[in-house]
Amino acid sequence: MAKKEIIESILIPEDKLLKRVAELGEEINRDFEGEEVLLVGLLKGSVIFLSDLARKIKLPCMLDFMSVTSYGNDIESSGEVRFLKDLDSDINGKNVIIVEDIIDTGLTLREVIKVLKARNPKTLKVCTLLNKVSRRLVDVEVDYNGFDIPDAFVVGYGLDYAQKYRNLNYIGILKLIDE
In angstroms, give the least distance from the CB of 122 to ligand 5GP: 25
Strand partners, 97: 39, 125
| Candidates 8-16, 30-38, 94-102, 119-127; binding stretch for ligand 5GP (CB under 6 A) | 94-102
C-alpha 112/C-alpha 125 separation (Å) is 12
Question: Which is closer to ligand 5GP, CB of 39 or CB of 107?
Answer: 107
Catalytic pick among 64, 86, 90, 104: 104
Does residue 104 have an active-site annotation? yes
Sign of CA dihedral 25, 27, 28, 33: positive
In angstroms, give the least distance from the CB of 106 to ligand 5GP: 5
Applying CB under 6 A, which of residues 24, 101, 125, 144 lies at the interface with ligand 5GP? 101
Applying CB under 6 A, which of residues 108, 121, 142, 146 lies at the interface with ligand 5GP? 108
C-alpha 24/C-alpha 42 separation (Å) is 17
Strands ordered across the beta sheet of 95-103: 77-85, 61-72, 37-43, 95-103, 123-131, 144-148
C-alpha 4/C-alpha 140 separation (Å) is 35
For ligand 5GP, the binding residues in 27-86 under the rule CB under 6 A are: 45, 70, 77
Question: Is 155 an interacting residue with respect to ligand 5GP (CB under 6 A)?
Answer: yes
Q: 87-124: buried (b, 16+ CB within 10 Å) or exposed (e) per residue?
A: eeeebeebbbbbbbbbbbbbbbbbbbbeebeeeebeeb
Applying CB under 6 A, which of residues 38, 49, 66, 104 lies at the interface with ligand 5GP? 104
* Residue among 143, 121, 123, 120 nearest 131 (CA): 143
Applying CB under 6 A, which of residues 38, 102, 112, 127 lies at the interface with ligand 5GP? 102
In angstroms, give the least distance from the CB of 102 to ligand 5GP: 5
Q: How many CB atoms are located within 10 Å of the residue 148 CB?
A: 11
Contact residues for ligand 5GP (CB under 6 A)?
A: 45, 70, 77, 100-109, 153-155, 159-161
User: Catalytic amino acids?
Assistant: 104
